[in-house]
Amino acid sequence: MHPDIKQVLITQAQIAAKVKELGQRISRDYEGKEPVLVGALNGAVVFLSDLMRCLTIPCTVDFVHWSSYGKTTSSTGVFRILKDLSENVESRHVLIVEDIVDTGLTLHYLLENVRSRNVASVRVAALLDKPSRRRIEVPIDYKGFEVPDEFVVGYGLDFALQYRNLPFIGVLKPEIYAGTDTPPDEVEARE
Q: Does residue 151 touch ligand IMP according to CB under 6 A?
A: yes
Task: Considering only residues 48 through 107, tell me which ones interact with ligand IMP, judged by CB under 6 A.
Answer: 98-107
Of 30 and 43, the one with the shorter C-beta distance to ligand IMP is 43
104 binds Mg ion (CB under 5 A): no
9-48 binders of Mg ion (CB under 5 A): 43
Closest among 57, 140, 160 to 100, alpha carbons compared:
140
Cα dihedral sign, 16-19-25-31: negative
* Residue of closest CB approach to Mg ion: 43
Establish how many alpha carbons lie within 13 A of residue 43's alpha carbon, considering only the half-sphere containing its beta carbon: 25
Find all residues with CB under 8 Å of 121, minimum gap 6, and list them: 93, 94
# chain residues binding Mg ion, by CB under 5 A: 1
User: What distance, in Å, lies between the first and last C-alpha atoms of the chain?
Assistant: 26
DSSP 151: -
Decide if residue 156 touches Mg ion (CB under 5 A).
Answer: no
| 146 vs 118: CA distance, rounded Å | 31
- Three-state DSSP at 29 gives helix
d(CA 43, CA 153): 10
Q: Where are the alpha helices (DSSP H) in 30-104?
A: 45-52, 71-76
Tell me, residue by residue from 4 to 43, as one string, x for binding to ligand IMP by CB under 6 A and - for no binding: ------------------------------------x--x
| Active-site residue, 149 included | no
Of residues 35 and 43, the one with the C-beta less far from Mg ion = 43
Q: Which is nearer to ligand IMP, 22 or 105 (CB)?
A: 105
Nearer to Mg ion, 57 or 131 (CB): 131
Q: Which stretch binds ligand IMP (CB under 6 A): 16-24, 46-54, 84-92, 148-156?
A: 148-156
Q: Compute the least distance from the CB of residue 31 to Mg ion, in Å.
A: 29
Q: Which residues are catalytic?
A: 102
Q: Which residues contact ligand IMP by CB under 6 A?
A: 40, 43, 98-107, 151-153, 157, 188, 191
